[in-house]
Amino acid sequence: MKCSKCGGTAVINMRQHRLRLCGRHFLEWFTAMTQRTIEKYKMFIPEDKVLVAVSGGKDSLALWDVLLQLGYQAEGMYIGLGIDEEIGYSNKSLEMCNKFVEEHHPDALLHVVDVGAEYGQSIPQLARTTQRGRGRPCAVCGLVKRHIMNSVARDGGFTAIATGHNLDDEVAVLMQNTLRWQSGYLARQAPVLEERDGLARKAKPFVRIYEREAAAFVLLRGIDYIYDECPFARGSTTNYYKELLNQLELNSPGTKQQFYLQFLRARDSGQVTFARPRESELHPCVRCGQPTTAGELCAFCRLWE
Ligand code: Q46
Ligand code: ZN
Ligand code: ZN
C-alpha cells in the first residue's frame, strides 16, 4: 500500500477520504484537518485561552498534543473521579496525563481536581448515596464533570473548553437521537456550543476525525495512554451503536462521515428543522454562582445537600 502523497509505504488507509498515507503525511494531514475544523466552526482563535478536558485516553491526549503543536494556549484539565473497580482506573488515567506532560510537553499546565478530596465523595460513592445517582455512576458523573469544568474555566479566565469527542462518538449520539426522534437534542448537537450566561464556549475539534485515526495518531507520536475505558462504560448503548456503525462503515466506507456531515448541513441550512425546547430562564445558583434553571441551588449543589 503506497502513500497517496509521496509513494512511500502507507501506514493507514482512510477509505472515506480515498487517501492512503505514510506516517509523516498522516501526521501532517491529522493536524491540518483539526485546524480546518477549528476554523470552519469558529471554535477558537490563538488569542483564546483553551481548557482541554483530558482523561488519559487517546482522544483527549491527542487533542491536547495537536492544539499545543498548532500553537494554541491550551491547558489541560483532569478530573479525578475516584473510580477504581479493581483496575485502578482513575489512578492510572492521571498517571498517563502526567506522563504525557513529562514526555511530550514539559511546559504545559495540567489542572487537577480530585472530586473525592475536594468535595468529600468520589463518583462511585455519590452514585450510592444520592437520590440522583441511584446506583448509576454516569448519572452523577456527567453533572459533576460539567460543573467542575465550568468553574475552572470561569476562575481561570478560559474562553473555550475543548473535548476529544471524535466522529464515532458524535455519530453514535446522532444515531441514538435520530432513532428516538429526540428533536431537542437534534436541534442542539453541534461541533461548537456558544458561550451562554457566563459558561465558556464548548468545542469538539475532532468531529471530523475517526476513532481509528486518533489511535493511529497517538501510536505514531509515541503517546502512551490508558487502554481501558471507564469500567462503567462497558456494555453501554453508545458502544453498541458504535459497533453497528462500524459494520455499516465496513460495507460502505464514508457512511459515518456522511451521516454526520449531511445532518449538520441539512439542519444548519434550514432544509430540516427540529423544534428547539424553549430556553428556560437561567439565574445564578446562590451557592456556586453557576447559571441554573432549577430553584435557588443548582443540580450540582443539591447533590451535596
Ligand atoms: S460518565 Fe460514566 Fe463516563 Fe463517568 S462514570 Fe465513567 S462512563 S467516566 S464518559
Ligand atoms: Zn507520504
Ligand atoms: Zn451551585
Q: Kindly give the distance from the C-alpha atom of residue 5 to the centroid of ligand 2, in angstroms, as a whole number.
A: 5
The atom number, within ligand 1, closest to the CA of 145 reads 4
Q: Kindly give the distance from the C-alpha atom of residue 220 to the centroid of ligand 2, in angstroms, as a whole number.
A: 14
Residues 209-247: pLDDT tens digits?
A: 999 999 999 999 999 999 999 999 988 899 999 999 999
d(CA 245, CA 256): 7
Residues 69-97: pLDDT tens digits?
A: 999 999 999 999 999 988 999 999 999 99
Question: Do 241 and 176 meet the contact criterion of CB atoms below 8 Å apart?
Answer: yes
Q: Kindly give the distance from the C-alpha atom of residue 31 to the centroid of ligand 2, in angstroms, as a whole number.
A: 15
Q: Which contacts of 138-144 are long-range, i.e. CB under 8 A and separated by 24 or more positions? A: 138/232, 138/233, 140/303, 141/81, 141/232, 143/299, 143/300, 143/303, 144/79, 144/81, 144/115, 144/300, 144/303
Q: Maximum CA pair distance of the chain?
A: 64
Question: Do 116 and 104 meet the contact criterion of CB atoms below 8 Å apart?
Answer: no
Mean per-residue pLDDT, 176-186: 95
142 Cβ neighbours under 8 A, 6+ residues apart = none
Q: Per-residue confidence at 171, pLDDT binned at 50, 70, 90?
A: very high
> Grid coordinates in use for 262?
449531511
Q: Considering Cα of 288, then 293, then 294, then 300, what sign does the dihedral take?
A: negative
- Residue nearest atom 7 in ligand 1 by C-alpha distance: 233
Counting ligands in written order, which one lies closest to the CA of residue 287?
3
Per-residue confidence (pLDDT) for residue 50, from 0 to 100:
98
- Sheet of strand 49-53, all strands in order from the earlier edge strand to the far edge: 110-114, 73-80, 49-53, 160-162, 201-203, 192-193
Q: Per-residue confidence at 191, pLDDT binned at 50, 70, 90?
A: very high
- Residue nearest atom 5 in ligand 1 by C-alpha distance: 138
Counting ligands in written order, which one lies closest to the CA of residue 27?
2
Q: Kindly give the distance from the C-alpha atom of residue 128 to the centroid of ligand 3, in angstroms, as a whole number.
A: 21
Q: Per-residue confidence at 279, pLDDT binned at 50, 70, 90?
A: confident
Task: Kindly tell me if the per-residue pLDDT of 282 is higher than 90.
Answer: no
d(CA 174, CA 260): 7
Instruction: Output 153 or 136, whichever has higher pLDDT.
Output: 153
Per-residue confidence (pLDDT) for residue 239, from 0 to 100:
94
- Residue nearest atom 2 in ligand 1 by C-alpha distance: 138
The atom number, within ligand 1, closest to the CA of 231 reads 6
Counting ligands in written order, which one lies closest to the CA of residue 115?
1
The atom number, within ligand 1, closest to the CA of 55 reads 8
d(CA 204, CA 16): 20
Task: Kindly tell me if the per-residue pLDDT of 124 is higher than 90.
Answer: yes
Residues with C-beta less than 6 Å from any ligand 1 atom = 123, 137-138, 141-142, 230, 232-233
Q: Kindly give the distance from the C-alpha atom of residue 196 to the centroid of ligand 3, in angstroms, as a whole number.
A: 16
Q: Kindly give the distance from the C-alpha atom of residue 136 to the centroid of ligand 1, in angstroms, as a whole number.
A: 10
* Residues measured by CB to lie within 5 Å of ligand 2, the ion: 3, 5-6, 8, 22, 25
Task: Kindly tell me if the per-residue pLDDT of 164 is higher than 80.
Answer: yes
Q: Kindly give the distance from the C-alpha atom of residue 245 to the centroid of ligand 2, in angstroms, as a whole number.
A: 29
Per-residue confidence (pLDDT) for residue 280, from 0 to 100:
77
Mean per-residue pLDDT, 186-193: 96
Question: Do 159 and 49 meet the contact criterion of CB atoms below 8 Å apart?
Answer: yes
Per-residue confidence (pLDDT) for residue 70, from 0 to 100:
98
The pLDDT mean for the chain works out to: 95
Task: Kindly tell me if the per-residue pLDDT of 9 is higher than 80.
Answer: yes
Counting ligands in written order, which one lies closest to the CA of residue 288?
3
Q: Kindly give the distance from the C-alpha atom of residue 141 to the centroid of ligand 1, in angstroms, as a whole number.
A: 6
- Residue nearest atom 1 in ligand 1 by C-alpha distance: 138
144 Cβ neighbours under 8 A, 6+ residues apart = 79, 81, 115, 123, 126, 300, 303
The atom number, within ligand 1, closest to the CA of 142 reads 1
